[in-house]
Chains A and B, each alone.
Chain A
Amino acid sequence: MEDQNKNMIKAVCYHCGEDLPKVKYQIDDKEFCCAGCLGVFKILSDNNLCNYYVYNNNPGQQLKSESHLEYLDEPKIITQLLDYRHESSSIITFYIPAIHCSSCIWLLEHLYKIDPAIFSSRIDFLKRQVTINFNHEGISLRKLVETLNHIGYEPLISLQDVVKEHKNSVDKALVLKIAVAGFCMGNVMLFSFPEYFGLSSFEKQFQSLFGWLNLAFSIPVAFYCGRDYSTSAITSIKHKHINLDTPLALIIAVLFLRTAFEVIFSLGPGFADTLTGLVFLLLMGKYLKQRTYHHISFNRDYRSYFPIAVTTLLNGKEKPVSINEINVGDRLWIRNGELVPADSILMKGDAWMDMSFVTGESQPVHKVLGEIIYAGGRQTSEAIELEVIKPVSQSYLTELWNKDNYKNNSDRQNFNDSVAKYFSIGVFIIAFSATAYWLFKNDSHKAWSAFTAVIIVACPCVLALSTPFTLSAILSVMDKKGFYVKNTDAVEELAKCDTIIFDKTGTLTSSENAEIRFSGALNQDESIIVASLLRNSTHPLSRHILKALNVDQYYSLTDYQEVIGKGLTAVISNHNIYAGHLSMLPIGIQADSETGVHIVIDRSYKGYFEIKHQWRLGLAQLILKLQKFSLQVLSGDTDKDFWMLQTIFSNSTIIRFKQSPHQKLNSILELQQGGNKVIMLGDGLNDAGALKQSDFGIAITDNINNFTPGCDAILKGSSLNFLPDFIQLSKDGMKIIKVSFAIAIAYNCIGIYSAVQGTLYPLVAAILMPVSTITIISFTTLATRWYARKNKLI
């Protein structure tokens, strides 16, 4: 057993848990998969930080390639990033996507052991943030970020500084309001008890004391906790439309006035208990609505993809400049792996642009001098020089976000508001007709009490509660299955949708389990030669292929050359070997694939390695289940997979290829103008505009820490097969809400029956309110669970 365990531990890298290649890196009986992991281990062991490996097995991350950090020396950029700066100490908050376990917390909170100038560091685990307090005379910001990079925790510093965007999900003021309302409610209930049970004669002296106390507790509830309702009601009346807050504000006002009136003139106990209970419950409903996943960001735009700074050339000198300060005519210096931040013209160098961010096309595109390179492209070979022709904010890509045709969230009418209008009108009609009846009978006292009683009883608190309770229960069910919806309103939108549009790359295919395929033939000796060449490169593709080759020995090599992003060449045991892009090979070849890593040994072509994206599992069944919806596929890629898609989808499905981001957006617009409600599933920046325009945008990702474009929901790739169930559950949720309305109306009829007679005692109101509320809340919760089980989501 122990031997087995040993073997288990031995088989993976001690630092990151990746499978070990046949030839390992070793240090004091620990094995590593690459020099990077070994390096991190060395740093940690030198600083006596090996506890990092105690809390979890293989907690580390593989190092990515080095990034250029010169811009962190620019004072202007430093001040943009720092939270606080004092004489000698600074505080900065970084967003670090790699944080994932307790070892990360332990290590990042012991940074001071690596560099004494770091005074302290604290992690917020859910937000994946670290706040570092350091002495900027002892360690520069750049040095600090380099230190983090060296131990494998690269902070993500982007133009839209993620860190400053994060706010706590629930607004702080609301929690304080709930606290005050709950406090007042508890006390008022306490002082109302004698009233409920009837006062004996000698306790009568306390009646007015309790009355006044209740009134005192109602004041903060009505004027502080319930303030939002009255302001919202006043603004909505100004705009000549009624929302749900209008009747609620009216009820709060009537309850308060009547309580004050009864207490001051010693007419009775008033309705303080109903008032405080109502406001407390309403605020709880609001709280549930607001509570969302603050550790996931739904509102990303292009700025979170763009770096904060870019290297410009000034009279031939490199100078890092903050992206906001780039002007037309500036010369940019874009290195391998860097993003082009603004539309520009290629002036110098060999550009191989990976435009997958923009078009979804995975093959690098070759650009010649003088061609326009759009923002969002990533350079994959040597450094190039560009001249900016449009400022960042007006680039082709960023225009996607600045379109003015996006639906405004305020004109999304949710079910509640549409019902609220009729509800309020109904209540008013009943209240006024009851008043008129009693006035006609010359009983003004009864008229007044009937009017207030109707308004109190016909409380639409159910309207305000059933929706958030139902939908937040649904949210938590979906959440457990890896479907994170932005908020409760979005669930209502999801229930209305009838059309589903898929992007292909990354949505229908998965980026996780790509497999390396070799077209051609290599014998054992040639495999070793290829592996010996590739092991010298840090390019991710080289690593993948190396793992696939799985050889157990290497030859030594001479004349090694790497043309970044294009390929490698070397002399190994008297063979000239080339591996890389077609344009790099010494002989012209008609290969049947543009992409991939082509291998040439001694001027004879051996074949090429390529990465095949896999279709997601269970796709055919998923499409079968979604037959009720009209489906479309819009891909930015070439049509090489057309036949495959044809077999999965039915013949009526529209499948379009080579769609630009703008074309995707326009397709959705057309559908919406035709009266359809559209769900869009996409993954990349090239779907961002479409995701935003659609009625319900779902960003699909295999790793939640990865960047996703702004959307209404984030879906784990592994949960894609549950999509029909999720949509069905949201529809069922709307059913539950409608049934709870029926229950509420039944209660209201009982209440109104006694209210119109002008004989509603506070006791009746005090009992009816909580009973109806408890019924509704338990009904929605149970019904939601039942439907979730029916849809096999629990």
Chain B
Amino acid sequence: MNILYFLVGCSVLMALIFLGAFVWAYKTGQNDDTHTPGIRILFDDDIVGEKSEEDHFSS
């Protein structure tokens, strides 16, 4: 049963990584606007001209 020590350590470490990921996501403003992206995703792509659309969507 000594393996439990290792497993407990692993589980706590994993949980900490998830917590860290949440904190990072929150601090970089991912939850600031939860409404608009849901609308934005429904827009169709236009016919792409010489310049790629991508260039204009900075975050």
Contact = CB atoms under 8 A, between A and B. Distances in A.
Interface in A153-175: 168, 172, 175
Interface in B23-59: 23, 26-27, 31-33, 35-36, 39-40, 42-44, 46, 56-58
Interface string A376-387: 000000000000
Contacts of A202: 1
Contact of A213 (B8, B18, B26, B56): B8
Nearest 3 CB-CB pairings of A with B: A125-B36, A124-B33, A120-B58
A231 interface: no
A417 to B, nearest CB: 31
A126 B58 contact: no
Given A112-B56, A125-B33, 18 more contacts: A51-B43, A55-B43, A102-B42, A105-B40, A109-B40, A109-B57, A120-B58, A122-B36, A125-B39, A126-B33, A168-B32, A179-B22, A180-B19, A186-B15, A203-B1, A205-B1, A209-B5, A209-B8
Given A105-B36, A187-B12, A119 B58 contact: yes
A453 interface: no
Interface size on B, as a range, is 20 to 34
A176 B8 contact: no
Interface of A: 48, 51, 55, 102, 105-106, 109, 112, 119-120, 122-127, 133, 168, 172, 175-176, 179-180, 183, 186-187, 191, 202-203, 205-206, 209, 213
Contacts of B44: 51
A126 B35 contact: yes
A206 B26 contact: no
Nearest to A182: B19
Interface of B: 1, 4-5, 8, 12, 15, 18-19, 22-23, 26-27, 31-33, 35-36, 39-40, 42-44, 46, 56-58
A45 to B, nearest CB: 14
A51 B44 CA distance: 9
| Majority secondary structure, A binding face | helix
B54 to A, nearest CB: 11
B22 to A, nearest CB: 6
Nearest to B37: A125
Contact of A183 (B1, B19, B46): B19
Contacts of B26: 172, 175-176, 179
Contact of A123 (B4, B27, B36, B56): B36
Contacts of B18: 183
A180 B57 CA distance: 33
A183 B18 CA distance: 9
A124 B22 CA distance: 22
B12 A213 contact: yes
A203 B2 CA distance: 10
19 contacts: A51-B43, A51-B44, A102-B42, A102-B43, A106-B43, A109-B57, A123-B36, A124-B36, A126-B35, A172-B26, A175-B26, A179-B22, A186-B15, A187-B12, A191-B8, A202-B1, A203-B1, A206-B4, A209-B8
